[in-house]
């Protein structure tokens, strides 16, 4: 194997333009040493058009994947000291003809370092001549545990059906070589079935009264046709490599042909999302179920656990998630519910202000969670920056929580039709970063505030949804998330904003962030403008409720 790598290295060093036109060879097997004792040989050392040093590490063996990452760490430190280089003067190329085992450690390495790292799949001919390369996109992972936010909720009528479902899940994952998975076993709240029946019946009555007709089904008629489900298996799977996904889908020719046709022009993130869905949920075999629903982190937390009161009675793990004894069930359920921020809707974390690594990780996580909400992202970054500066003089415990559903119209509907103010508050977009020092407390928070715009629902649909409700309602099939919500909400009177409250004894001082600094302002209730909008816009809210309820006339078709 070493001889094969040596031949490839020799041939590759003479064809560096395969990477980029102006890449110049400096030396092969460059020996690096520094005063700390770090030493080793870099496969190829080159320079690029920006006069940066390029370390090229070649690995052909699958077994050597993690060793390749360790060696790059070592070589970078060596060349920094050896040549007195800064991080932005170095580039690392990791090149391999096999990426199946290398992708995860490469992605973790990519996320951790502050210098540029590139991965390449090298294609060689029978004589080991380099013929082409393909750029490898790193997975967006956190410490090598990255559970997909594409989940499944399968419902079961009784214990026998549940037992069959559990065995079916384990068997299907094994047959498809899916090792790392989580099965959350839940039991329905005793009153859920009755509550669901009455809620749907009330919704049908309300819709019928608006149009002057009879409801499609009465309570008694619904009871005859709506089954009762006592249990749920909520499943999630670790993100895999593209190669692993394709291997699974290839076993189902129809799914494979369809996937090849639709994914031709997809970007890397969309492609990985689609591959996961086809491989895990669409390709046979699929688990036994009495009923299926799409799952996603915000739905697990807000609808199933908090809204409907499902009780977690067991948690079954597979693969590396089972072997990790330090990974508690509580942490795992938190990640499934969105605490890690990767689902763009929910993020939570406790931290100590002196822990620089934790603050740095929070910023990285928040960038994932608020990728489409630049206003709140800037506000949270400002909050963490202030906390970091203050931590030089004193230590404090803090907590950050973000709820960013990114569909304010859907949030308004959920709040306006909630059974109580407390239930309504669960749907309101908001964040807070609370920090408690010895002599005072500081609360940074984000909420929705009123602007001076007043319009009807049709104007919003005209401006954001091509004049019809179809595209808005279609988004409900994947959770309702709207990347453009930061621009849509201001159209009808609500905007995202950032604030700070400093509490010293009984004194409270409020400040609003203008994008650059906090300026003093009057006292702010994070929920006041939101509820005020509902109270003062009765026609807008009535039309909104009517629109969403029309989409749920057939129970189970669209799950809010």
| pLDDT for 448 | 97
pLDDT in tens, 500-542: 999 998 899 999 999 899 999 999 999 999 999 999 999 999 9
| pLDDT for 35 | 45
**% of the chain at pLDDT higher than 90:** 36
- Euclidean distance between the first and the last CA atom of the chain, given in angstroms as a whole number: 56
- Alpha carbon of 219 to those of 69, 200, 204, 330, 555: distances in Å? 62, 8, 10, 38, 13
3-state secondary structure of 297: helix
Burial bucket for residue 72 (CB in 10 Å: 0-12, 13-18, 19+): buried
| pLDDT for 557 | 32
Which residue spans within 48-115 are E strands per DSSP? 53-59, 90-96
| pLDDT for 137 | 80
**DSSP-assigned letters across all residues of 157-175:** SSHHHHHHHHHHHHHHHHH
- Listed residue (340, 321, 148) closest to 236, CA to CA: 148
Does 181 score more than 50 pLDDT? yes
Does 430 score more than 90 pLDDT? yes
| pLDDT for 145 | 59
- Listed residue (343, 264, 295, 323) closest to 478, CA to CA: 295
| pLDDT for 316 | 96
**% of the chain at pLDDT higher than 70:** 87
Does 314 score more than 90 pLDDT? yes
36, β-bridge pairs: none
Does 210 score more than 70 pLDDT? no
Q: What is the mean pLDDT of residues 3-16?
A: 86
Q: How confident is residue 555, by pLDDT bands cut at 50, 70 and 90?
A: very low
| pLDDT for 402 | 93
- Higher local confidence (pLDDT), 308 or 142: 308
Does 394 score more than 90 pLDDT? no
| pLDDT for 528 | 94
Q: What is the mean pLDDT of residues 347-356?
A: 86
Q: What is the mean pLDDT of residues 327-355?
A: 79
| pLDDT for 40 | 59
Beta strand pairing call for 90-96 and 116-124:
parallel
Does 232 score more than 90 pLDDT? yes
Does 553 score more than 60 pLDDT? no
Does 38 score more than 60 pLDDT? no
Q: How confident is residue 479, by pLDDT bands cut at 50, 70 and 90?
A: low
404, β-bridge pairs: none
Q: What is the mean pLDDT of residues 432-443?
A: 91
Does 431 score more than 70 pLDDT? yes
Of 111-115, 285-289, 359-363, 451-455, the range with the lowest mean pLDDT is 111-115
Does 166 score more than 50 pLDDT? yes
| pLDDT for 237 | 93
| pLDDT for 141 | 52
Q: What is the mean pLDDT of residues 461-466?
A: 88
Does 85 score more than 50 pLDDT? yes
| pLDDT for 211 | 61
| pLDDT for 34 | 47
| pLDDT for 100 | 72
- Higher local confidence (pLDDT), 112 or 280: 280
| pLDDT for 78 | 75
pLDDT in tens, 127-141: 889 999 999 887 655
Of 103-107, 270-274, 444-448, the range with the lowest mean pLDDT is 103-107
| pLDDT for 31 | 55
Q: What is the mean pLDDT of residues 106-126?
A: 83
Q: How confident is residue 98, by pLDDT bands cut at 50, 70 and 90?
A: confident
Does 269 score more than 70 pLDDT? no
Model's pTM, two decimal places? 0.56
Mean pLDDT of the residues in the chain? 84
pLDDT in tens, 357-385: 788 888 988 988 898 999 999 999 999 99
Q: What is the mean pLDDT of residues 176-197?
A: 90
Question: From CA 104, how far away is CA 99, in angstroms rounded?
Answer: 9
Q: Residues of 259-279 as b/e, b for ≥16 C-beta within 10 angstroms?
A: beeeeeeeeeeebbbbbbbbb
| pLDDT for 343 | 63
Q: Which two tokens stand for residue 119?
A: 């991965």
| pLDDT for 212 | 65
| pLDDT for 546 | 84
Q: What is the mean pLDDT of residues 96-100?
A: 82
| pLDDT for 66 | 53
Q: How confident is residue 473, by pLDDT bands cut at 50, 70 and 90?
A: confident
Q: What is the mean pLDDT of residues 74-93?
A: 79
Q: How confident is residue 234, by pLDDT bands cut at 50, 70 and 90?
A: very high
Our CA angle for 332, 334, 338, nearest 5°, is: 115
Q: What is the mean pLDDT of residues 479-504?
A: 91
Phi, psi of 350 (to 5 degrees): -95, 145
With beta carbons less than 8 A apart as the criterion, state whether 173 and 181 touch: yes
Does 390 score more than 90 pLDDT? no
């Amino acid at each position: 194997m070493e001889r094969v790598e040596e031949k490839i290295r020799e041939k590759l060093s003479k064809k560096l333009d395969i990477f980029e036109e102006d890449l110049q060879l400096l030396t092969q097997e460059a020996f690096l040493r520094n005063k700390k004792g770090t030493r080793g040989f870099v496969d190829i050392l080159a320079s690029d058009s920006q006069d940066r040093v390029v370390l090229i590490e070649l690995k052909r063996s699958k077994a050597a994947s993690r060793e390749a990452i360790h060696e790059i760490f070592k070589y970078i430190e060596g060349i920094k000291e050896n040549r007195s280089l800064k991080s932005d003067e170095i580039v690392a190329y990791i090149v391999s003809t096999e990426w199946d085992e290398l992708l995860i450690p490469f992605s973790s390495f990519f996320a951790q370092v502050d210098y540029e790292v590139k991965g390449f799949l090298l294609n060689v001919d029978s004589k080991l001549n380099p013929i082409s390369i393909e750029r490898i996109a790193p997975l967006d992972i956190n410490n090598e545990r990255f559970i997909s936010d594409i989940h499944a909720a399968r419902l079961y009528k009784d214990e026998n059906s549940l037992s069959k479902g559990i065995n079916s899940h384990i068997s299907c994952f094994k047959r498809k070589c899916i090792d790392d998975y989580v099965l959350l076993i839940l039991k329905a709240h005793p009153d859920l079935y009755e509550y669901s029946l009455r809620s749907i019946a009330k919704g049908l009555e309300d819709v019928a009264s608006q149009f002057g007709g009879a409801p499609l089904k009465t309570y008694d008629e619904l009871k005859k046709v709506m089954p009762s489900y006592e249990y749920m298996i909520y499943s999630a799977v670790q993100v895999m490599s593209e190669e692993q996904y394709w291997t699974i889908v290839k076993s189902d020719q129809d799914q494979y042909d369809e996937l090849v046709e639709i994914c031709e022009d997809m970007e890397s993130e969309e492609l990985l999302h689609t591959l996961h869905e086809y491989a895990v949920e669409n390709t046979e075999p699929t688990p036994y179920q009495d009923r299926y629903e799409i799952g996603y982190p915000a739905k697990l937390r807000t609808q199933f656990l908090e809204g409907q009161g499902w009780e977690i009675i067991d948690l079954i793990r597979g693969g590396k998630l089972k072997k990790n004894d330090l990974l508690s069930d509580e942490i795992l359920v938190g990640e499934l519910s969105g605490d890690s921020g990767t689902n763009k809707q929910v993020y939570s974390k406790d931290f100590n202000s002196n822990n620089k690594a934790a603050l740095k990780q929070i910023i990285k996580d928040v960038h994932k969670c608020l990728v489409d909400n630049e206003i709140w992202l800037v506000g949270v970054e400002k909050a963490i920056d202030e906390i970091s500066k203050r931590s030089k003089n004193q230590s404090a415990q803090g907590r950050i929580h973000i709820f960013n559903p990114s569909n304010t119209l859907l949030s308004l509907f959920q709040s306006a039709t909630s059974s109580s103010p407390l239930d309504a508050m669960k749907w309101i977009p908001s964040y807070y970063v609370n920090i408690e020092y010895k002599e005072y407390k500081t609360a940074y928070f984000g909420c929705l505030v009123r602007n001076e715009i007043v319009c009807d629902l049709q104007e919003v649909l005209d401006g954001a949804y091509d004049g019809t409700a179809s595209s808005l309602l279609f988004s409900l099939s994947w959770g309702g998330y709207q990347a453009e919500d930061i621009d849509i909400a201001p159209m009808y009177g609500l905007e995202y904003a950032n604030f700070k409250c400093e509490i010293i004894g009984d004194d409270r001082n409020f400040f609003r962030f203008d994008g650059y600094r906090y300026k003093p302002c009057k006292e702010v209730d994070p929920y006041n403008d939101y509820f005020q909008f509902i109270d003062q816009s009765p026609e807008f809210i009535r039309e909104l409720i009517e629109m969403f309820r029309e989409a749920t006339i057939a129970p189970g078709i669209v799950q809010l």
